Structure 1
């Protein structure tokens, strides 16, 4: 049975099904429109379908809401969602807003919104779950909570006062970086920048790595230099280099000066290479050990939570020092091979003799051919003295080969039409969308810091 009253924050991530029980996607937000003499009316849901596409599902297509799932008629427009004038997202734009009680009893923050069914296909905001300010000076705990109807409060919109993004960040706290990046890109521009500014440095760094460069630059330009440098410190060196290269030369140099010296040195080295070479694609943070390291030690390094899967597929063995540029590169040991030997086995005896490193000047096309020919997920990069300077991973190559707009699939993250051609299925009609996009050459990083080009 469908619920008659539902709290919107609990809908985030709920699965959407068609009448036959096939999974269509997950709810990412609820869309309402304001009414002059009544509470806001629900017009539909923003649903993420396979392919990370956000689409609009009109409330008239929803037949049931309850028990952590939503049932629809099976009819769905799969064109990418774009917010229209007058539409407001509850999770992204209403949660976190400050309101004032009409009776003069003070103000509060909206922490959740209850929607209630008034009839078939008719839902509206019925109650607000509010939190009043703390009444004590203690740094622990929060203020008291209270319920109120829409008519009992007035939204507080003082000039220069931005909406808190804490509630939105908490709601989407379990999202993977790529999913959160898509969520931010679907927000109105001002709201996207507000949320980005309130994300922790490490979380923002992960999200920026999943965004198109133009959006990375837009967000970075809103941060002060100190915060921007802290975020860059948390990014992978190759991603940080790509981002810095898109900024003005003066700001890029200033941010490099503010970054941690070791991180800045890695970025400067990467900026010195052409973007279509192994040096321009590589990351400078592979796992590097001595030949005397054991299988047990190697597996312990691979288990690190923050390590990217592609970097954990193999371990580099070199002579000291063990930071790029290292001592002479000896070879790589693949993860699967380590699993076949006892924990005390020396990694120096397990080196793959058939894998030759590439130089930093090797073309991206040649690196792609090597990865494909030998079914590799990474390839080591050495300098003229055979010292390890980094590794190129498969995700680096894919990001280079794919067109710039691959994340948006249709090339426009803010385009939606609610009427498109359709395809008849066992559960209804599903519109067809032309999602093809022509591949084109990846643009260069542009200006190179520190080498006069």
Structure 2
């Protein structure tokens, strides 16, 4: 059991495994919910816990029996309703880390690097200490790793209840650096709009591009419009052409045209071509960057191409074989070579010897249902898309099709309806105030 005076730093708590009393894993801590009050120390009221199915739920601290190094023990009773932050709640990791505060004695400003919560005799968990880095005079306040670090009482600073005009995000991102893009997208989606843009802006272009592809359209548009135009164009270049085209299609025509002009011509060319196709057609669904090789390419070289880190598993499942030129639109499309076939054959053989010509490509203007039917009929993960002259224009992968078949708000939908197998029983809503 946690004893009175137990002190826990929230940055270290993030990622900690939550167990029930029997030792079964419930999930992992993702954040701590804090109530910042006009008077008195802020009160921590619960944990945001990620449970199987990547659902984030609220675990009241009143149902936490122990917080030790590397583990949190709960009573085993968890409300499985998806956590939704309320207006009066603050996320300790998501919103307090990197926040600028001022010392009440007038000695300067600092950035919050960690927050300590401590168990009181009343059973409440209060924010009692802040680990801060003082801002060095003459340097921008958000410049990291300058200035003295110190542990201060929460009453020694002001400004904890308000975000600075330009709050950083380095410490927050450090807590989530190992997350896959889809999981980091969930974190961003749960943040307020201002904080979401701050965190997104702190990501490098490639990481932000990957995360944008996993966000709901409204979030994508808000983030892209919040970036400087040059930065937004760079991020679009880092996205898959089909995803970039989808995002530009959600913007006003004037803004989309301006961004296309700022993109590198080669990158913009593919995106412009995709924008010309109707959304629910093979052309509107396809990517222009599958693995396309000539028939004389060796199996060893082809396997090296499908190892590319930026390829999705669906696009890595086959190589598309065509006559030169090998950039879309290519010369005449020949067929595909499946990854499994290449793994079975001598590496020095040419892929042209193992082309599967039985898979008929689909025309660029074919409707979505035709694409879906063809993928299902032949159990394919990707399908070649050609023009009437049989030039390869791109490929539609099964994940692109699913994005269009699922409801528009599927990324925002709770996994619920039914509880996941083995999930703990749901409880009535508890008062988080």
Cα contact 1:74–1:427 (8 A) shared by 2: no
4+ aligned runs moved over 3 Å, structure 1: 134-137, 139-142, 156-160, 425-429
Aligned partner of 2:64 in structure 1 is 62
- Where 1:20 maps in the other structure, the secondary structure is coil
1:171–1:360 Cα change, 3 Å:
same
Aligned partner of 1:341 in structure 2 is 345
- Where 1:400 maps in the other structure, the secondary structure is helix
Cα contact 2:63–2:74 (8 A) shared by 1: yes
1:278–1:142 Cα change, 3 Å:
same
1:8 is matched with which residue: 7, 10, 13?
Answer: 10
1:342-381 correspondence to structure 2 within 5 Å: 342-381=346-385
CA deviation profile, 1:300-345 (whole Å, cap 9, x unmatched): 1112222222111111111111110011111111111111012111
Report the more deviating stretch, 163-172 or 116-125: 116-125
1:162-177 correspondence to structure 2 within 5 Å: 162-177=166-181
Matched, 1:398 2:396: no
1:429 is matched with which residue: 414, 418, 425?
Answer: 425
Cα contact 2:320–2:337 (8 A) shared by 1: yes
Q: What is the rounded CA distance, in whole Å, between the counterparts of 2:325 and 2:285 in structure 1?
A: 23
Aligned partner of 1:113 in structure 2 is 115
Q: What is the rounded CA distance, in whole Å, between the counterparts of 2:201 and 2:423 in structure 1?
A: 43
Matched positions, count: 423
Structure 2 residues without counterparts, runs of 5 or longer: none
Aligned partner of 1:436 in structure 2 is none
1:109–1:353 Cα change, 3 Å:
same
Structure 1 residues without counterparts, runs of 5 or longer: 413-420, 434-453
Q: What is the rounded CA distance, in whole Å, between the counterparts of 2:240 and 2:80 in structure 1?
A: 34
1:224–1:426 Cα change, 3 Å:
closer
2:240 is matched with which residue: 236, 240, 251?
Answer: 236
Aligned partner of 1:23 in structure 2 is 25
2:155 is matched with which residue: 151, 156, 162?
Answer: 151
- Report how far residue 202 of structure 1 moved: 1.5
Report the more deviating stretch, 226-235 or 49-58: 49-58
Aligned partner of 1:276 in structure 2 is 280
Cα contact 1:278–1:363 (8 A) shared by 2: yes
Aligned partner of 1:247 in structure 2 is 251
- Report how far residue 131 of structure 1 moved: 1.3
Matched, 1:205 2:212: no
Aligned partner of 1:446 in structure 2 is none
Cα contact 2:100–2:163 (8 A) shared by 1: no
Q: What is the rounded CA distance, in whole Å, between the counterparts of 1:427 and 1:84 in structure 2?
A: 24
